[in-house]
Amino acid sequence: MNSNCIGGVLHLRLLLFSTSHRILAAHPKISASRRLSTATMGSRSQLPSPPLAEKVKHEMELFGDVRVDNYYWLRDDSRKNPKVISYLQQENAYTEAMMSGTKKFEDEIYAEIRGRIKEDDISAPLRKGPYYYYSRTLEGKEYVQYCRRPIPNRDAPSSVHDTMPTGPDAPPEHVILDENVKAQEHGFYRIGAFKVSPNHKMVAYAEDTKGDEIYTVYVIDAETQAPIGKPLVGVTSNLEWAGNDALVYITMDEILRPDKAWLHKLGADQSNDSCLYHEKDDMFSLGLEASESEKFLFIASESKITRFVFYLEVSKLEEGLKVLTPRIIGIDTSVSHRGNHFFIQRRSDEFFNSELLACPVDNTSATTVLIPHRASVKIQYIKLFSDHLAVSEREEGLPKITVYHLPEVEEPLINLEGGKSVQFIDPVYSVDLSVSQFSSTILRFSYSSLRMPNSVYDYDMNTGESVLKKIETVLGGFDASNYVTKRKWATASDGTEIPISIVYQKNLVKLDGSDPMLLYGYGSYEICIDPDFEASRLSLLDRGFIFAIAHIRGGGEMGRQWYENGKFLKKKNTFTDFISCAEYLIEQKYCSKEKLCIEGRSAGGLLIGAVLNMRPDLWKAAVAGVPFVDVLTTMLDPTIPLTTSEWEEWGDPRKEEFYFYMKSYSPVDNVKAQNYPDILVTAGLHGKYKDQYNT
């Protein structure tokens, strides 16, 4: 098979179009497309026959419109139906047989990717309290160790030049928890939360051994690993310490919606835990955060357009939750704490890119605007310190960090002035604020670009000095200077300019239209697909591929309105934007139709399904990972986890206008007899919901 086919896997024809609830494997209109190129796989007589799903007519009628789904029976919420499992096994076997000719090449690519990974490595140590905390990976091991090491001179103020001592004379390393040991007894293993108690004596961690994102929480002694109390079962990974003697955690209802917040006293039985709040509106789900000061916990109830917050004072748990921001439809708030004030990030239809307010802890209705709303700058989130405020923002599609010095705690908070922006070097990049010490002047952030491996920096908020603390090691002779990153703009059908991030190996590409390209897209939930580094992507770039990201509407790259203009009755902008980006890249000779491959996951898989139906002629091949393609049937079924809250994202098809609009783009409702490109679709048997955040 041609090595220009993304690891040799893109010549697979359409085997199955699926969500985690639906697999449409033998649609009569696409059965003719379910073959591999005989030029690459030998004569047709040598190919195995694809499995054919039984056709069982299932009619669905609404607003006088009748839809027929002959494969509705493949929905199996139990994941145990022998007939469904058997069919999936047949599909997997067929895929293995069809891909057998590329096995050697796949192994070569896998070895190549693995060969770039420094297996014996540690994360950038984070100074917190009397310890440096970090994680370690070991050669030949799949999982991490959670470690810490005492700080020799813990009373010395922190500095960007701090270095954790190692070697025989350094304080000894202590492994708090080894995932490799824990995972030995399970086919699947994941730790979703690892929380150290404020006094550093205990750790609470959430463990998933099935892959269904339903966790068990264990509390252990940080030194001896001895269990403390009984585990908490059937919970989410969203938990926080409430002082050193209690935990707050979240549980879910029967459709896996986070709906209850609980207070657990260490040593008590879970059945005796007190429910702090029960959100009964199935449009809303609960979230939980601790303030950077560790003095408050915030429990938020949120839908897609509304978020309101309660606070719990850690030193006064007996007082329970108190309202901080009221429930007002269309108002979205997030909160933090420092000194005598709560800091409130507030978004509304009027202030769509958010404003930042402050209010006294003892008078939460007396708000003061610290950072006013700006139409061109979106506030993403904030990090508070004892003397500083760091704000993550977006402007012109790029993330930025702005740091403000705060007045003394006793002084009034009136406004913020003199914010300093951190400078970055690449034209397109990704940057995120990391966990930092509240009491320090050091801001930690992670930076990467399409050519620059992930790098952890400590930034002195007083002096503006940045010091690199850790850069991802890429083995195999990687040299960032061999790669070029660019940002271009495509013009959409309505005149909107759509940003595109591009990277390629400068010594290999010709930029004459003959280069192969992989174009990635998402475009939903206001999620930003920022251009970051993936070592595995080098296997494409070093074979002459160009990689690009289309930052289409429905995402959040260009601010809140960018998202609003790609949802509800404007959702098709997401798809036409992607097509416009592809046409621009072809016009500018970055690729051709014959060399253009596309990829998207989850809601990005919806994008892929839609553009395949709309413009099948434009693509050579497509990869759709766990794609959300049965939009209309899914959104009409409130028993599917989180469907009700999704009505604020996609629209409620129980209303006629939304029904017919969604039907007009829903991928499985628009498959027709036409020449589709090569498609690979992957799906998972287990999945809590439509995996919208898995991008």
Sign of CA dihedral 499, 505, 506, 509: negative
Give Cβ neighbours of residue 93 (< 8 Å, ≥ 6 apart): none
Tens of pLDDT, residue by residue over 60-86, are 999 999 999 999 999 888 889 999 999
Look at residue 580 and tell me whether its pLDDT is greater than 90.
yes
Backbone region of residue 514 per phi and psi (left: phi > 0; alpha: psi in -120 to 50; beta: other values): alpha
Mean pLDDT (whole number) for 343-353: 97
Look at residue 303 and tell me whether its pLDDT is greater than 60.
yes
Whether the full predicted model's pTM is greater than 0.75, yes or no, is yes
Look at residue 643 and tell me whether its pLDDT is greater than 60.
yes
- Residue 97, SS3? helix
Q: In CATH, what is the architecture of 477-682? A: 3-Layer(aba) Sandwich (3.40)
Tens of pLDDT, residue by residue over 251-285, are 999 989 999 999 999 999 999 999 999 999 999 99
- pLDDT grade for 39, boundaries at 50, 70 and 90: very low
Detail the DSSP E strand segments found in 449-482.
455-460, 466-471
| Amino acid 8: pLDDT | 24
Place of tokens 């006094």: 199
Tens of pLDDT, residue by residue over 138-185, are 999 999 999 999 999 888 888 999 999 999 999 999 999 999 999 999
Domain ranges of the chain: 116-374, 477-682
Look at residue 687 and tell me whether its pLDDT is greater than 80.
no
Supply the mean pLDDT for the chain. Answer: 90
Tens of pLDDT, residue by residue over 418-475, are 799 999 999 999 999 998 899 999 999 999 999 999 999 999 999 999 999 999 999 9
- pLDDT grade for 47, boundaries at 50, 70 and 90: confident
Do 116-374 and 477-682 have matching folds? no
The Cα–Cα gap between 593 and 574 comes to: 20
Percent of the chain with pLDDT over 70: 92
- Residue 2, SS3? coil
Taking the mean position of all CA atoms in its chain, how far away is CA 210? 20
192-to-69, 176, 216, 435, 562 alpha-carbon distances in Å: 37, 16, 10, 16, 31
- pLDDT grade for 48, boundaries at 50, 70 and 90: confident
Mean pLDDT (whole number) for 604-628: 97
- CATH fold for domain 116-374: Methylamine Dehydrogenase; Chain H (2.130.10)
